[in-house]
Amino acid sequence: MKLAKRALDHAVRAGLLTSNQWPATEDGESDRKVNKQPKPEIVVASLEEAQAVVANLRNHQPRSWTWWLMTILGLYAGLRPQETITLEVGDFTLPDEGYGSVHFTTAWNGAGGEWGTPEEDIGPTKTTRHRTVPLTPYVVCCVREYLEFTGLTEGKMFLTRSGKRPSAANWWRALNSSSTKASVSAAFYPYGLRHFAASHWLASGIEPPRVASWLGNSVSVLHATYAHAVRGGEARSLAMMSAAFEQ
């Protein structure tokens, strides 16, 4: 249909027709606007739900500590899963008190596999940007606890017993199991943790440019992709709306 309409427009410009008799869309809107479907609304989990999932991730299995810290870094630092699994001990700044940070320049890309070497699995981040993300005192304590448990002082943060990098499938299974134990209905998956961080940062009032910088994205991508409503945030939003207009 669009091709036929364009052909008629071209015929009018060429003088072959006096006018394009193709019926206009209702209210004069373009076909693209009329047919464009709105994105489904996404509501991220509440802070309480996230805390419950984190609390149920660790168990008697040493590997559960990996899923525990990787999840915390996704929830509270907004890291991409492929960035998280390439982290090394030296990427962290962990002061005795106050805020720390994590700095990274690489991400897992899967380019090695059976066609190359493990080293080729590591490349630049998705946006090729080097960035430093602040870590709250809570996250700093969690990283310190993980290092104490594992005995790591240098090198790669997350490896399986066979020396391989953790898989997203196993991480997803760990999150599903923890959500069930915590009786949390909200869906938790590795990349969704980053959406949780971005949405809660924005909901708390942090400036969008700063949030975008922490995520390594532009402000437009931030709003188009990561800005979601927060579960249970309706009452707070209404209170803020009232406060905005009260004299």
Residue with tokens 């047919």: 35
Q: How is residue 117 annotated by DSSP? A: -
- b or e along 134-144 (b: 16 or more beta carbons within 10 Å of the residue's beta carbon)? ebeeebbebbe
Domains belonging to the chain, first-starting first, are 44-236 (1.10.443.10)
Number of neighbouring beta carbons within 10 Å of residue 28: 6
Q: What pLDDT is stored for residue 164 in this prediction? A: 82
Residue 148: band (very low, low, confident or very high) from pLDDT cuts 50, 70, 90: very high
What pTM, to 2 d.p., does this model score? 0.73
Q: Residue 14: its pLDDT value, please?
A: 64
Maximum average pLDDT range among 64-73, 110-119, 152-161: 64-73
- Mean local confidence (pLDDT), 2-15: 65
Residue 220, pLDDT > 80, answer: yes
16 vs 188, higher pLDDT: 188
Strand pairing report for 122-124 and 92-93: unpaired
Find the mean pLDDT for residues 148-170.
90
* Position 205 pLDDT exceeds 90: no
